[in-house]
Amino acid sequence: MSLDDLYRRVIMDHYQKPRNRGTLEDDAVSVELNNPTCGDRISLQMRVEDGIIKEAKFLGEGCSISLASASMMTEAVKGLKVEEALDLSRMFSQMMQGKEVDFERFPLEDIEALQGVSKFPARIKCATLAWKALEQGVEGKQ
């Protein structure tokens, strides 16, 4: 199996069986964003306590890349300090721009499967939508 095939399988797994799909109640931070170019919509909820993202869930509609990215992102940021989650988001953005990323600092695990999206500029907004919601949601929570 080629690396591209493996990455496609990881993306489709997160798309077909999204992790953390749903909503949070009570004092959850909530951000809704859309990508009018593609029709992607993401509603992200996070529970941030003492500067740590305790929980993250999302609801959304859109393409496989957008929803898989949201699933991967919510898995990756749970338990991180807000500053670490923002660092991870910046690394993801660099990866989407085709730049070198230090995967040893934050092992991106499944998120690396989205690396190939950087070759398709029209799809980068799909992959980064949930990450932009994360950034907006944690502003001021540091």
Span 3-140: which CATH code? 3.90.1010.10
Domain residue extents for the chain: 3-140
What pTM was computed for the model?
0.92
Tell me the one-letter amino acid at 17: K
> Which pLDDT does position 104 carry in this prediction?
74
- Please give the chain's pLDDT, 142 residues, in tens: 676 777 889 999 999 999 999 999 888 999 999 998 889 999 999 999 999 999 999 999 999 999 999 999 999 999 999 999 999 999 999 999 999 887 776 667 789 889 889 999 989 999 999 999 999 999 866 5
State whether residue 134 is helix, strand or coil: helix
For the packed helices 82-96 and 121-138, what is the interaxial angle rounded to 10 degrees?
170
> Which pLDDT does position 3 carry in this prediction?
65
DSSP string, 27-94: T-EEEEEEETTTTEEEEEEEEEETTEEEEEEEEEES-HHHHHHHHHHHHHHTT-BHHHHHHHHHHHHH
Residue 72: closest CA among 10, 139, 141: 10
State whether residue 141 is helix, strand or coil: coil
**What are the tens digits of pLDDT across the range 105-135?**
666 778 988 988 999 998 999 999 999 999 9
Cβ-based neighbour number of residue 128 at 10 Å? 26
If you ran DSSP here, which 8-state letter would residue 106 be given? Answer: S
For the packed helices 64-77 and 3-16, what is the interaxial angle rounded to 10 degrees?
80
